[in-house]
Structure 1
Amino acid sequence: MRTTAIAIASLATLMRHAPATYLESTFANYFSTGPVATNSWIREANTTLVLPKTNDPQVGNLALWPGMGTSNGDLIQALAISVAADSDSAEQEEGTLVPAGPGSLVTMHYKFNDTSSKYDQTVSLNGTVVSKLSTTSGHAQGWGTAIECQETECGYVPGHKYINTKITMDVADPDYSQTLATYNATGDLTTADGGLTWTVDTIVIGATTFAAS
């Protein structure tokens, strides 16, 4: 069975619901920013993942995500996960799996709520909200995306892209672009207001292969 599923969770939730046997993760191709200046933090972040085809062969638990590390040591992270019928990944997920096909637009929106002091996390699929979660996570210190493979080698992962990425700071951080680090990924991180908001029109993540060494 070939399917891609959408899930949303914080790292704390994932750890509480993880199976007793730890599923080792391997990471590849990333676009990473942060940490922020010492007097600032990320109030809001929004991006849209254009889903690629599933990995081939569809083995392991393959996750594509944008995440934000926080001052509490947590990770705010919505995930698009490629899962096979016999995968263990459901034991780690928070909420109901939502199927999606290649070319679908998955928008991940994280926003700090001043009233609750939590990050409200919303995932939309082709413009329709499919998942919400609010977490007490401190203040976000950076934003980035990567390819993650769990459990076993995930095979070939097609290239893909994120569009309309916007990161909004609490206080302007004019030097934030200097924190950008990439591996087999491209995208121009720019600001038009002195570092209060940062945008990337398109982040292109190259294809990769997770194979036994």
Structure 2
Amino acid sequence: MLPYFALVASFFALSSAQQFGPYYSLGATSSYIVEATTTLTPSKVPSPAADRLALWPGMGTNGGGLYQSIVLAIASPESECGGTTGQWCAFASVYNGTQQSGDSVPVDANTPVTINYKYNESNESYTQKVTVNGKLISTITTSDGKAIGWGTAVECQDDACNGTSTTHTYTNTTIVLAAADSSFGGTLSVNLVTASELTSDDNITWAVESISVPEYSW
């Protein structure tokens, strides 16, 4: 059986020309996620860049949604985010049948991109914040269900599925649950990535120091 997050990703790929590579997957939890933070550092954009290669840490929800702030390689970064050749485009995003996104902003290779998802109890929504060097570059707030899984994805679309993704890392990842779930760590599944130990002192806050994702060819 596919792990929860890989199952979510494969569901969204059924009706389009998408494929997925290495992943780190947690969930589903018996609780729900109230906050998740990680720093994604992409290396170089594949050369030549093709449409489209998406790197993202995402959260699947009990409402069928997918919160997914994205770092994207595309053949024409100028048209996507005002970038230039060799730059990535970064933006907050959610998918639930249709894609909604915040501002798309160019990011240089080897630049750490911090991605935060936070649950708002007052209106049962999640706010995504994408920051670079302490500056907020993209954000979006939506209500698409409570997040019950977290994972990383390497997603190719169309021409990018004929190429190779580049290495990247996730560091200082923390996932905070609404209530203790002692079985959450047992849901961990990895494919081709190398990760440090997943830890938790209270079964509420879970942490993994580093996740290294290798090159991958489809």
Equivalent of residue 191 in structure 1, options 182, 195, 200 = 200
Tell me if the contact between 2:102 and 2:140 (Cα under 8 Å) persists in the aligned partners: no
The offset of 1:177, in angstroms, is: 1.1
Equivalent of residue 132 in structure 2, options 110, 120, 125 = 125
Pairing 1:79–2:70 present: yes
CA distance in 2, matches of 1:62, 1:93: 18
Give the structure 1 partner of residue 28 of structure 2: 35
Give the structure 1 partner of residue 213 of structure 2: 205
Gaps in structure 2 of 5+ consecutive residues: 1-11, 82-98
The offset of 1:87, in angstroms, is: 9.6
Gaps in structure 1 of 5+ consecutive residues: 1-14, 16-21
Tell me if the contact between 2:163 and 2:217 (Cα under 8 Å) persists in the aligned partners: yes
Alignment of 1:37-76 (within 5 A): 37=30, 40-76=31-67
Task: Give, as a single letter, the amino acid of the residue that structure 2 aligns with 1:128.
Answer: K
**How many residues were matched structurally?**
188
CA distance in 2, matches of 1:24, 1:182: 23
Give the structure 1 partner of residue 145 of structure 2: 138
Give the structure 1 partner of residue 122 of structure 2: 115
Task: Give, as a single letter, the amino acid of the residue that structure 1 aligns with 2:33.
Answer: I
CA distance in 2, matches of 1:145, 1:27: 10
Give the structure 2 partner of residue 7 of structure 1: none
The percentage of aligned residue pairs carrying the same residue is 38
The offset of 1:60, in angstroms, is: 2.1
CA distance in 2, matches of 1:154, 1:129: 33
Map Cα deviations across residues 119-144 of structure 1 (whole Å, 9 max, x no partner).
01111112210011101011111000
Q: What TM-score comes out, normalization by structure 2 length?
A: 0.80
Tell me if the contact between 1:120 and 1:132 (Cα under 8 Å) persists in the aligned partners: yes
Q: What TM-score comes out, normalization by structure 1 length?
A: 0.82
Give the structure 1 partner of residue 7 of structure 2: none
Pairing 1:158–2:166 present: yes
Give the structure 2 partner of residue 96 of structure 1: 103
The offset of 1:57, in angstroms, is: 2.5
What's the secondary structure of 2:186's corresponding residue? helix
Tell me if the contact between 1:62 and 1:154 (Cα under 8 Å) persists in the aligned partners: no
Of 78-87 and 56-65, the range deviating more from structure 2: 78-87
The offset of 1:95, in angstroms, is: 3.3
CA distance in 2, matches of 1:89, 1:134: 21
Map Cα deviations across residues 161-186 of structure 1 (whole Å, 9 max, x no partner).
10000000000111211101111112
Pairing 1:26–2:33 present: no
CA distance in 1, matches of 2:16, 2:46: 18
Tell me if the contact between 2:42 and 2:167 (Cα under 8 Å) persists in the aligned partners: no
